[in-house]
A and B are shown apart, each in its own frame.
Chain A
Amino acid sequence: DAGVIQSPRHEVTEMGQEVTLRCKPISGHNSLFWYRQTMMRGLELLIYFNNNVPIDDSGMPEDRFSAKMPNASFSTLKIQPSEPRDSAVYFCASRQTSGGALSTDTQYFGPGTRLTVL
């Protein structure tokens, strides 16, 4: 298995531009997570999906951020318009969740997208 795939690996854009980050989870995994990591705030959960449905988006900073998961093998995180304070490494992770008492949380992380907003 190729693991979680994220693209692009690096993105440099100017303030005000739209940014779209992409993620392909591991085949067969039914949960997908978007995280943001910065020196200031550490690793923050932005949103997570279960069976393509958003379960918790309380970590999404504001309306400029949106995430979609149109099918089990693809998700996007969009920032529109982008601002310099959005500069961070954005990680996507996936897992197989059963939801029962014995469910585990072995999340498999992608390599991340390093976003720089000038």
Chain B
Amino acid sequence: GESVGLHLPTLSVQEGDNSIINCAYSNSASDYFIWYKQESGKGPQFIIDIRSNMDKRQGQRVTVLLNKTVKHLSLQIAATQPGDSAVYFCAEKAGGYQKVTFGTGTKLQVIP
């Protein structure tokens, strides 16, 4: 079996605090970005997206910030709850039919 796994960066946050998950992307041609959440034993689930003509977009308790200058994306979760514990993936796409490229993911642990 596998003895060495992909090392996921882990963010531990106290319940009720705000969480910030960061992501660096590499393709300067990417014009569409998505955040997915994957809970244990489940498939990834869409959270929020943003186009490159925007630098901020807000959803329910979540905000995505995009800095194209440094090719950086972040996901902010307000008032983090135990149900937010999961692995979070950023993904990028360039052009309409281009495939989406997923990052390696960040594990968020919420401490009750």
**A105 contacts B49, CB within 8 Å?**
yes
Say yes or no: B96 contacts A103, CB within 8 Å: yes
State whether the Cβ of B6 lies closer than 8 Å to any Cβ in chain A.
yes
A103-B42 Cα distance, complex, nearest whole Å: 26
Interface size of A as a range: 20 to 34
**Which residue of the partner chain, among B43, B44, B96, B100, contacts A100 with CB atoms under 8 Å?**
B96
The answer to whether A97 and B46 touch across the interface, beta carbons within 8 angstroms, is: no
**Seed contacts A42-B105, A106-B49; 8 additional CB < 8 Å A-B pairs:** A33-B99, A39-B6, A45-B99, A103-B96, A104-B49, A105-B93, A105-B100, A107-B100
A109-B97 in contact given A42-B102, A43-B102 (Cβ < 8 Å): no
- Within the assembled complex, what's the spacing in Å between the Cα atoms of A43 and B34? 15
Which residues 62-111 of A have a CB within 8 angstroms of B? 91, 93, 97-101, 103-111
The residue in B4, B43, B101, B105 that gathers the most chain A C-beta atoms within 10 A of its C-beta is: B43
Interface of B, secondary structure class, is loop
Report how far A105 CA is from B102 CA in the complex, Å: 12
Binding site for A on B (CB under 8 A): 2, 4-6, 32, 34, 42-46, 49, 89, 91, 93, 96-97, 99-102, 104-105
Given A38-B2, A105-B91, A105-B93: A48 touches B105 (CB 8 Å cut-off): no
Q: Which residue of B lies closest to A3 (CB)?
A: B43
Which residues of the partner chain B approach A105 to less than 8 Å between Cβ atoms? 32, 34, 49, 91, 93, 100
CB A98 to nearest CB in B, in angstroms, measures 7
Taking a contact as CB atoms closer than 8 A, the residue among A40, A104, A107 that contacts B6 in the complex is: A40
Contacts A43-B89, A105-B32, A110-B43 given; does A99 touch B96 at CB 8 Å: yes
Establish whether residues A106 and B34, one from each chain, have CB atoms under 8 Å apart when the complex forms. yes
Contact A109 B43 (CB under 8 A): yes
Known: A109-B45, A111-B43. A48 touches B99 (CB 8 A): yes
7 closest Cβ pairs, A-B complex? A109-B43, A39-B5, A99-B96, A103-B96, A43-B102, A106-B46, A109-B44
Give the one of B5, B32, B44 with max A CB within 10 A.
B44
Whether A42 lies near B46 (C-beta < 8 A) is no
